[in-house]
Amino acid sequence: MYRYDEFDQEFVNERVAQFKDQVRRRLSGDLTEEQFKPLRLMNGLYLQLHAYMLRVAIPYGTLNARQMRKLAHIARSYDRGYGHFTTRQNIQFNWPTLADTPKILEELAEVQMHAIQTSGNCIRNVTSDQFAGAADDEFADPRVYAEILRQWSSLHPEFLFLPRKFKIAITGAPQDRAAVQVHDIGLQLTQNAQGEVGFVVFVGGGLGRTPMVGRKVRDFLPEKDLLSYCEAILRVYNRYGRRDNKYKARIKILMHETGLDALKQEIETEFEAVKHTFLDLPREEVERINAYFAPPAFETLPAVSENFEAEKRATPVFADFVHRNLNGHKAPGYASLTISLKPIGGAPGDASDEQMEVIADLAERFGHDEIRVSHEQNLVLPHVKLDDLPTVFKILQANGLATPNAGLVTDMIACPGMDYCALANARSIPIAQEISQRFHDIKRQQDVGDLKIKISGCINACGHHHVGHIGILGVDRKGEEFYQITLGGSADQNTSIGKIIGRGFPANEIADAVETVVEAYLQNRVGPEETFIETYRRVGDAPFKEALYGTV
């Protein structure tokens, strides 16, 4: 894992000291709220409905046990005993006080964490595949490049005041688990005919008010050009991005208005100017960063673990669990384990301080001290021996962390919605909870199979509803919560934006409507091997419309 060098640490410490002083000046009245607000936002501190909210960056979703324990400690000592993991692979604390925040940031700095670049019109925390460095289908570890991008973008003087926020995602596997095509820049590691490493580059993806799938601007960008090419994209965006209208300021709008060919041309021209400058990425630098992400020393194990297989035969709940919550690992005898933060009826993405401690312990004892946060609001132990899984499972089970639903209908994304968020039009969490209750029966969930439901409480789309197989958007209809359904969205290598199926539903009917959609899928699928999204793509929205609204 990447460790701060002296420069990083000094910089973060300075920022904490600076913010401490700013809070002091705010409380003494030397700074007005108007002056202070941008400063607190630059340090990840928002004001929500009930209290302040602190958003802490988890670069590319990677944590070690010590860091997780620190988050648990913050949840316990400064918050109300829990934290909320988000679709940006960050964690949010919902109840800190302004007075405590400098202290919290000091504590975070002790474990090389901070809340910088989690807000504002800058390049945000780079996100990645939660199975990075472990997945059996991975081509190269994307975190190496995510870290290089982090170092380049952190406080890049030119890019601190962009027209709008800017998000980069990177994946190292053909199976895209990082939703790269709905980011401002999406990078997919690849290899050319000569066996050299490079990237497929997408630009202008994004969700929110105007959802767009990123457009491919490069089939193959050589590794050494990564920074100069990104620099060129950012410069073009900085120059032409619309600062006059917040709703049109993202690069996706620039792409849409300028057109792919013209914008590509602009980027290439700028790239010619930037190329071969100090931004050239030397192989040695990649190697240096690579060393931080060197895989742990895996034991040489048989691919099949007797212990694991025996437990599967003996304990059906264990079999259910590993059937869904494991992902193939590159080292034989290992797996990546998804710890679902979606217990039946729970708030998606919430973890208590005790649960965080348990996961930290497990990571240390059984997981080479690594933990990941997925953009689907779950936690992952990327490197666990199959032999150890029966023990790990028992510990998870004892702590309410063994929900066997990864990728199933109850593994929903839901944003905080109107229960917390000042921008919300409707609640998200209670809707997720009700749907979760409806589908609590694991056999029914397994029968439905892979299905992603994503819920946002307003058009900002933090809950990624546009790319949910079933998307739910909360709107305000004459002061009442009302929910629109979109179908057919997807955020993997075949990214698509969901289509609104018809008129929306009030809060007390939305779970019924989702059940109706799921039933329509079951009736229309060729067989259990055809997933929801495949069926939808084959039959279109007509059968779903009819199921929801009757024949029109």
Residue 452, CA atoms < 13 Å, CB-side half-sphere = 22
Two structure tokens written together for 153? 């973008």
Closest CB to another protein among residues 50, 288: 50
Is 67 one of the binding residues for another protein (CB under 8 A)?
no
Closest CB to another protein among residues 31, 255: 31
From candidates 66, 80, 499, 537, binder to another protein by CB under 8 A: 80
Rounded distance between C-alpha atoms, residue 132 and residue 289, angstroms: 15
Sheet of 82-85, strands arranged across: 45-47, 52-56, 91-93, 82-85, 350-352
Rounded distance between C-alpha atoms, residue 369 and residue 133, angstroms: 14
The interface partner of residue 461, options being ligand SF4, another protein, none and the CB cut-off 5 to 8 Å by kind, is ligand SF4
Two structure tokens written together for 296? 């742990």
Two structure tokens written together for 385? 């021996």
**CB-CB contact of 450 with 406 (8 Å):** no
CB of 436 to another protein, least distance (A): 12
From candidates 133, 349, 430, 488, binder to another protein by CB under 8 A: 430
The interface partner of residue 460, options being ligand SF4, another protein, none and the CB cut-off 5 to 8 Å by kind, is ligand SF4
In the complex, which residues of this chain contact ligand SF4 (CB under 6 A)?
A: 415-417, 421, 423-424, 456-458, 460-463
CB of 66 to ligand SF4, least distance (A): 29
Closest CB to ligand SF4 among residues 119, 154: 119
Strands (E), 72-165: 82-85, 91-93, 127-128
Rounded distance between C-alpha atoms, residue 66 and residue 23, angstroms: 28
Rounded distance between C-alpha atoms, residue 283 and residue 455, angstroms: 42
CB of 411 to ligand SF4, least distance (A): 18
The interface partner of residue 119, options being ligand SF4, another protein, none and the CB cut-off 5 to 8 Å by kind, is none
Closest CB to another protein among residues 17, 49: 49
From candidates 9, 13, 18, 48, binder to another protein by CB under 8 A: 48
Nearest to 20 by CA among 53, 45, 47: 45
Is 506 one of the binding residues for another protein (CB under 8 A)?
no
Strands (E), 294-397: 326-328, 334-339, 350-352, 371-373, 379-385
For residue 212, the 8-state DSSP code is B
- Interface region with another protein, contact rule CB under 8 A, candidates 170-178, 247-255, 418-426, 497-505: 418-426
Closest CB to ligand SF4 among residues 85, 536: 85
Question: Which residue's entry shows tokens 């380049």?
Answer: 152
Number of residues that bind another protein (CB under 8 A): 29
The interface partner of residue 457, options being another protein, ligand SF4, none and the CB cut-off 5 to 8 Å by kind, is ligand SF4
The interface partner of residue 504, options being another protein, ligand SF4, none and the CB cut-off 5 to 8 Å by kind, is none
Long-range Cβ pairs for the range 43-47 (8 Å, 24+): 43/15, 43/19, 43/101, 43/105, 43/115, 43/116, 44/114, 44/115, 44/116, 44/118, 44/119, 45/96, 45/98, 45/101, 45/115, 46/119, 46/422, 47/422
Closest CB to ligand SF4 among residues 169, 458: 458
Two structure tokens written together for 484? 């629109």
Is 420 one of the binding residues for another protein (CB under 8 A)?
yes
**CB-CB contact of 105 with 56 (8 Å):** no
Q: At what angle do helices 260-274 and 251-258 cross, to 10 degrees?
A: 120
The interface partner of residue 462, options being another protein, ligand SF4, none and the CB cut-off 5 to 8 Å by kind, is ligand SF4
The interface partner of residue 463, options being ligand SF4, another protein, none and the CB cut-off 5 to 8 Å by kind, is ligand SF4
Nearest to 184 by CA among 156, 157, 208, 152: 208
The interface partner of residue 48, options being another protein, ligand SF4, none and the CB cut-off 5 to 8 Å by kind, is another protein
CB of 428 to ligand SF4, least distance (A): 6
Is 32 one of the binding residues for another protein (CB under 8 A)?
yes
The interface partner of residue 520, options being another protein, ligand SF4, none and the CB cut-off 5 to 8 Å by kind, is none
CB of 203 to ligand SF4, least distance (A): 23
CB of 457 to ligand SF4, least distance (A): 3
The interface partner of residue 49, options being ligand SF4, another protein, none and the CB cut-off 5 to 8 Å by kind, is another protein
Closest CB to ligand SF4 among residues 186, 457: 457
Nearest to 48 by CA among 416, 523, 391: 416
One symbol per residue from 469 to 498: x for binding another protein (CB under 8 A), - otherwise; what is it? ----------xxx-----------------
CA distances from 511 to 114, 346, 430, 505 (A): 38, 15, 10, 9
Closest CB to another protein among residues 418, 451: 418
Q: What is the CA radius of gyration of the chain?
A: 23
Closest CB to another protein among residues 204, 430: 430
Is 97 one of the binding residues for another protein (CB under 8 A)?
yes
Residues in the site for another protein, rule: CB under 8 A? 26-29, 32-33, 47-52, 80, 95, 97-99, 347, 418-420, 424, 427, 429-430, 433, 479-481
